[in-house]
Every structure is written in C-alpha cells, then in structure tokens.
Amino acid sequence: MAKTLQLISGTIDKSSCVLEYMGNHGFNGLKKAITMKPEEIIDQIIEAKLLGRGGAGFPTGLKWKNMYAIEDDTKYLVCNADEGEAGTFKDKLFIEKDPYIVFEGMLIAAYVFGAKEGFFYMRGEYRSFTGRLNKAIEDLKEAGFMGKNILGVEGFDFDLHIISGAGAYVCGENSSLLESIEGHAGRPRAIPPHLPQGGLYGKTTITNNVETFAAIPIILDRGPAYFRSVGTEEDGGTIMVCLSGHAKNKGVYEIPMGTSIRDVLYDEELGGGTVSGKEIQFFHLGGQAGAIVFPEQFDTPFDAPHLREEGLSKGTGAFVVADESVDLIKYLIKVNEFFIHESCGKCTPCREGNRQMILLLKKFDEGTATEKDFETIGILSKTMSFASFCGLGQSATTAMASVLRQRPTIFTDRIQYTEEELKGVFA
Ligand SMILES: Cc1cc2nc3c(=O)[nH]c(=O)nc-3n(C[C@H](O)[C@H](O)[C@H](O)COP(=O)(O)O)c2cc1C
Ligand code: SF4
C-alpha cells in the first residue's frame, strides 16, 4: 500500500510516553506553530485540504478561518470523541494508544484562537479511559506543554478537561454535545445562533473530531504540500477506516485518501474479503447514518470528490461489510431500530417517522407489502431527511434512500398484493 502519515505512533502505557512521543516527531508541529502568526497557521491548514473527519467532511481550514474572524473575549475548544456511529472505533484507538497527537492538535488550535480552556468529550462507553487521559494531561503539564506560559510563550495558557457523556448517540451532534457539557440533557439546539458565535456557555466555540485534531500537527510539521501528496489534491492526508461485520481482517487501518474501495475491502493487508469466503454483497459506509454501497461502486477512489460523484460521502470511515448471506431488508430493519432507540423524541418527523418506517419495512419482510407501501417508503424517507430538526433524523434514512436508488427491486420483488387484494386476504 502507498505511504501513510502513521497518525498513531506511540502507546500511553509506557512511563516515558511524553518522551517517546517527542522522539516520534511529537510537538514539532506545536513548536513550529509558536513561531508563526495564527493567520499563517490557518492558511497552511487550508492549503493542506484537510476535510473534517467527524462525518460531515467540512473543510477544517475554512472553519478555523471563520472562527478566527469572530471577536470574543473567551473562546472554547471542544474535541468531539463521542464516536457513537455503529462500526466506528478509530477515535478509541487514538484515546488508547496516542492521545498526545490529538492534544497537540488542540494546543495548536488554542494558540491560534487564544483559547484558554478546552473540553475532550468522550462517549459514555469510553469512561474507563478517563484516568489515563488525565494522567497524560498531568505529564504534559509537567513537561511544559500544558498549563501556564506553554513552551515559555508569555500568555499561552491552556487547560484541558476530560468529559464523559452518558451514552446517547445524539450527543455527537455538536449542539447536543455542548448542552451535555453544560450539564443539561443532550438535546439539539435551535440554530441560529450558529455554534461559532453562540457555543459553549454562549461563547465562541470550535468543535473538531479527534482525528481532525490529530492531523493538524503533521500539517504544521511536514507542510501542507506533503500532506496533500499523501492523499489527493482536493482531499489531503489519510483516513482511519474501520472494518467490521463480515470483513475477514476486522480492525482500524490508516489509508491514503484516494485508495480504491475495492482495495480497502479485498487487499490482504486491509479487509481481505469476507470471513466466510463468500462475495461481498454490500457494505455500509460511515456508520448507520451513511449509505449502503454495492459492488458496482467498489472501484471508486475513496476521497471526497470521487465519492460525491457517486452520491456518497466518507462519513466516519466505517466499513460494515455484509456477505451474500445477509437479507438487506432485515438489515435495514436493524438500522431503523438503531434510530428508534437513539431518536431524542424532540421532533415529529424523526420520532414518528422512524416508527412508521419500521412498520413498512416489516411488511416487506413478511411479504404483505403493497405498491402503495413502496411509494410511502420513498415519500417518508424524503420527508424525514427534509423535515427533521437535527442531523440524526435527517440522516436516519440515508441507507434506505441508497437502497431505493441502487436496488429498488429488493422492495418491488417482494410486493405480492395490490391494496384491494390485500383487503381480500385479511377479510
Ligand atoms: C447525530 C449525530 C452524531 C454525530 N456524532 C459525531 C461523533 O460521534 N463524532 C464526531 O466527531 N462528529 C459527530 N457528528 C458530527 C459533528 O456534529 C460535527 O460535524 C463534527 O464533530 C465536526 O468535526 P470535524 O469538522 O472535525 O469533522 C455527529 C453528527 C450528528 C448529526
Ligand atoms: S431529528 Fe428530532 S427527534 Fe431526532 S434526534 Fe434530532 S431533534 Fe431529536
């Protein structure tokens, strides 16, 4: 496989972990950053073509530029480590093996924005890592990389708090996450104000994913051109992909942007095909909120512009692989159950839409569906994505929509009755 950035280098278990991290290019990015103006740092991130790794793929440099332009006496940083998407476990690897690179990215952001406080928001299920992360923060303070006058720069002060959620998927959505940090129930906020203006405690707040922060030190250390050269011109760097389900080699792999999907799925150093040796029927890309991808799309290079042409997005980089034994309708029912469980219930299209959707899907599963049900699935799917209050409901039918687009016969082949005939069956 082509070169990668080797984003994860160390292991926190060693007592000399700060030194080990430093011996591995650690803090070179931060040391460069403090010799530069904030605008120059932002320009480098824009040039690197780093797209956020949290799911939406928003250009990080542009986000930082907008945030930098806002005047506020207090700015907060938040690292989103909620990682609630099914089939996604790459942020956990940073937390377990190499949180320093993420913290270094946050320190660079703190320097740029003059932020004095940051929050590392971790999903409830990762709570057991809190102790080791706090130990890493203590080590950093001792070594002069956190606390007051960092690296001897007068006024460069930064403290980081580790916060744990309570296991709600919706808390990965930025505004719910901030509500949760503030001690309220994790529910999405009405927008505007947008988060940069009215974020945590009403102050200017920037939120990035774990992997996004991890890429920042590398861009500063090795330069934006190098970062792009590892990935593609329009989508720089590498991405951590998580292979699960029927994949033979389950795990987290760092791949250069632009790697073909087929290689990710079949290369022996990556997914290696399926455990059963059966063909891959489809894989679910980017978690439950993502699309189902079928073999005719497997030659697509894995980068934002190529995926966009196929109507896809990278999402979180999750590849939940399904071999030929999987019943796609039953799979969609499972996806739907996830969203019923995770919907916060605040708005009708998501709360009720998901419940109606499962009733329809079960009719196709049981063989009692009609053409009208097929039509209703299409309308409901569009309505939920258009009318739901937050990203959870808006993306709950992405998988469904991709199947309707690519494999409508999965549904139509199971239509046995017209509405009139069905009335007769149960008369
Ligand atoms: C329901 C929902 C769950 C989300 N979960 C996560 C998550 O676990 N981690 C994450 O980084 N972003 C998550 N996001 C996306 C964030 O809202 C946000 O786009 C992201 O943290 C921005 O970081 P980035 O620009 O570095 O990608 C979620 C969004 C929605 C709508
Ligand atoms: S779409 Fe509505 S019900 Fe669903 S999680 Fe968001 S606010 Fe809650």
Token duo for residue 105: 């990215």
Tell me, what's the pLDDT at 15?
47
Task: Give every CB contact of residue 186 below 8 A, 6+ residues apart in sequence.
Answer: 165, 166, 168, 170, 171, 176, 177, 179, 180, 344
User: Quick one: pLDDT band at residue 23, thresholds 50, 70, 90?
Assistant: low
Tell me, what's the pLDDT at 408?
95
Pocket (CB within 6 angstroms of ligand 1): 52-56, 58, 60, 80, 82-84, 169-170, 172-174, 207-209, 212, 390-392
Model-level pTM? 0.95
Q: Which of 76-90, 189-203, 359-373 has the lowest mean pLDDT?
A: 189-203
The rounded mean pLDDT for the chain is 93
User: Quick one: pLDDT band at residue 197, thresholds 50, 70, 90?
Assistant: confident
Ligand 2 centroid distance, CA of 338 (Å):
13
Tell me, what's the pLDDT at 427?
55
Is 334 within 8 Å of 344 (Cβ atoms)?
no
Tell me, what's the pLDDT at 26?
84
Ligand 2 centroid distance, CA of 177 (Å):
14
pLDDT tops 60 at residue 175: yes
Domains of the chain with CATH codes: 17-229 (3.40.50.11540), 238-323 (3.10.20.600), 328-425 (1.20.1440.230)
Q: Which residue has the higher pLDDT, 425 or 105?
A: 105
Q: What is the rounded distance in angstroms from the CA atom of residue 421 to the CA atom of residue 250? A: 47
Neighbouring CB atoms inside 10 A of 182's CB total: 11
Tell me, what's the pLDDT at 198?
87
User: Quick one: pLDDT band at residue 14, thresholds 50, 70, 90?
Assistant: very low
Tell me, what's the pLDDT at 167?
87
Tell me, what's the pLDDT at 216?
97
- Convert the pLDDT of each residue in 387-413 to its tens digit: 999 999 999 999 999 999 999 999 999
Ligand 2 centroid distance, CA of 274 (Å):
35
Q: In what helix (H) or strand (E) does residue 91 lie, and over which residues does it extend?
A: helix 90-97
Q: Which residue has the higher pLDDT, 175 or 20?
A: 175
Ligand number nearest to the C-alpha of 384: 2
Instruction: Choose one of 174, 181, 340, 346 to mutate for the ligand 1 pocket test, by most ligand atoms within 8 angstroms of C-beta.
Output: 174
Average pLDDT over residues 224-253: 96
What type of residue is 367?
Answer: G
pLDDT tops 80 at residue 426: no
User: Quick one: pLDDT band at residue 225, thresholds 50, 70, 90?
Assistant: very high
Q: Is 392 in the pocket of ligand 2 (CB under 6 A)?
A: yes
Ligand number nearest to the C-alpha of 188: 2
Q: What is the rounded distance in angstroms from the CA atom of residue 98 to the CA atom of residue 10? A: 5
CA 324 to chain centre: 27
Average pLDDT over residues 48-56: 96
Tell me, what's the pLDDT at 195?
74
